Structure formats: C-alpha cells, structure tokens
Amino acid sequence: MQKRNELYRGKAKTLYSTDNPELLILEFRNDTSSGNGIRIEQFDRKGIINNKLNSFFMMKLEEAFIPTQIEKLLSDNEVLVKKLKMFPVECILRNRIAGSLSKRLGMEEGVILNPPLFELFLKNDAKHDPMINESYCNTFNWVSTKDLEKIRELTYNINNILVNIFNSVDLILVDFKLEFGLFKGEVILGDEVSLDVMRLWDKTTMNKMDKDRFRQNLGGLIEAYEAVAYRLGVNIY
Ligand code: C5P
C-alpha cells in the first residue's frame, strides 16, 4: 500500500491518502495533548503502544460484529483504515462519574452510573467541543435520527465488550470517547480506541492507568500504558 499525501494532522494522529481512494493510512504519533491542545508533550513509544492497543481493541470489536474502520496493521505506528465520512460529533459513554461530568454537576468521582450515561459533544476546537444532544444533531443535520440511533446502540454494545475485556484483567472502564463515520452508507467505528480516549482504573488500588496521568501531572504515563498492554497480553515491542 503506497502512502501518498498528508490529509489531516490531528493532535496525536496523522491521516494519509493511499493509492486506493477508499483506504487511508492512520499514523499514531508520540504527541500527547491536554486542555484542547494547550499543552502538548512527546512521550517515547506512545505512538507504538497506542497503535498496537487500538488494533487489539478494534479487532476484538470486529470479532463481536461491531463494524470498525480497521483493515490491517501496517507497521509499529501505522494502520490501514477505511476512508469514512466522519460525523462531527464525539460520543462519550460513562460507567462512573469522573472528569468533566464531575465538574459540571459537582458530583463525586467514582460513583457508578446505572444505566451508563451516553453524551454527545460537537467536534469544534474553537468552541471547546460544546455539549449537544439529539435535537441539535437533527436540526443542524449533523447526524440523522436513524444513524444516531445506530451510534447509540453500537456505543452501548462496545461498552459491554470493553467492560468485559478490562474486567478480566482487573481494570475498571470508567468512561471513553468514540467517533463514528459512514462507509458506503453504513455507520462504522472510526478514530481510535486507545488509552488516550478512555479512563481506566486499577480495580484494587484505584490507580489511574490512562491519559489522566498526563492531564493531572501524575507521571508514569508510558509505564501505565505498558502495564495495561502487559495485562491484556498485547505485544507492544
Ligand atoms: O473530559 P471528560 O470527562 O468529558 O472525558 C470523558 C472521556 O472521554 C475520557 O475518557 C476522555 O479521555 C475522553 N475524551 C476524549 N477526547 C475528548 C474529550 C473526552 O478522548 N475530546
């Protein structure tokens, strides 16, 4: 597969065109950002770890009949993906109170949410990704009612699959963010499923094993990512 032009450079990943108009190459960089890109640092090996973990999760989801963009792992930090027409929304699923939910409602971190909470945010850096809802998606034609229903159903199914995977290695999946797109009219999981887009706590110690280590200056970001990969049996070398 021939890598062609850089199409889009995000905060931690870059998309390239290929000689096949239906496929793109997604590159995971070592960049790590917080506060909507205000703070960016490089961490050695992070691109490799996220690429391998993303492939691992996406493959597990495919096995459970969740349609994902993934085609093939290409190298340590690159994966071949379908070219999707992305919806301009971020979908967040929360199993416990944490992060912005805790701040917004003044509620204590760690409280279990039953049923898990599904939230939508508009992808708009300049406006700091404001919270939206189904009515906004309808009125502004961001996502059709039918596609949003599918997205919601897929997100809850993905949550069940991921919760089981993490539970089996004594990790708590607190929350995560997903992005979806259309490929030949079908709703498909895009973007990434990595430790950059989820909160994971150790079941025994309640230690944070995700990007909050960077956001909250706790240190040991890469060590935590490596520990999660080790528990899951994912080879990151
Ligand atoms: O910050 P907040 O509590 O809303 O984040 C919820 C979840 O979504 C966290 O796991 C966070 O890592 C993820 N997220 C993300 N990208 C964003 C916003 C949130 O990956 N732009």
C-alpha of residue 106 to centroid of ligand 1, in Å? 17
Answer whether residue 156 shows pLDDT above 90.
yes
Tokens at 42, concatenated? 């490089």
Which residue's structure tokens are 């993905």? 158
99 lines ligand 1 (CB under 6 A): yes
Average pLDDT over residues 156-171: 98
- Give start-end residues of each CATH 3.30.470.20 domain in the chain: 85-220
| Closest approach atom of ligand 1 to CA 175 | 10
pLDDT, one tens digit per residue, over 59-106 is 999 999 999 999 999 999 999 999 999 999 999 999 999 999 999 999
To test the ligand 1 pocket, which listed residue (28, 53, 92, 96) has its Cβ within 8 A of the most ligand atoms? 92
| 116, 94 Cβ separation under 8 angstroms | yes
pTM above threshold 0.75? yes
Q: Is the pLDDT of residue 36 over 90?
A: no
pLDDT higher than 90, residue 198 = yes
CA atoms within 13 A on the CB side of 28: 28
What's the pLDDT at 1?
79
Residue nearest to atom 15 of ligand 1 (CA): 197
Any ligand 1 atom below 6 A from CB of 176: yes
Please state the CATH superfamily assignment of the domain spanning residues 3-82 in this structure.
Phosphorylase Kinase; domain 1 (3.30.200.20)
Strand order in the sheet with 180-183: 85-86, 180-183, 186-189
CA distances (Å), origin 133, targets 106, 121, 218: 21, 8, 33
CB-ligand 1 contact for 211 (6 Å cutoff): yes
Report whether residue 226 contacts ligand 1, using a CB cutoff of 6 Å: no
pLDDT at position 77 is: 98
Does residue 70 contact residue 58 with C-beta atoms inside 8 Å? yes
Superfamily of domain 85-220: ATP-grasp fold, B domain (3.30.470.20)
The predicted pLDDT at position 95 comes to 99
* Residue intervals in the chain for CATH 3.30.200.20: 3-82
Give the separation between CA 22 and CA 95, rounded to whole angstroms.
35
Let me know how many helices (H) and strands (E) the chain has, helices first.
6, 15
Whether the CB-CB separation of 176 and 96 falls below 8 Å is answered with no
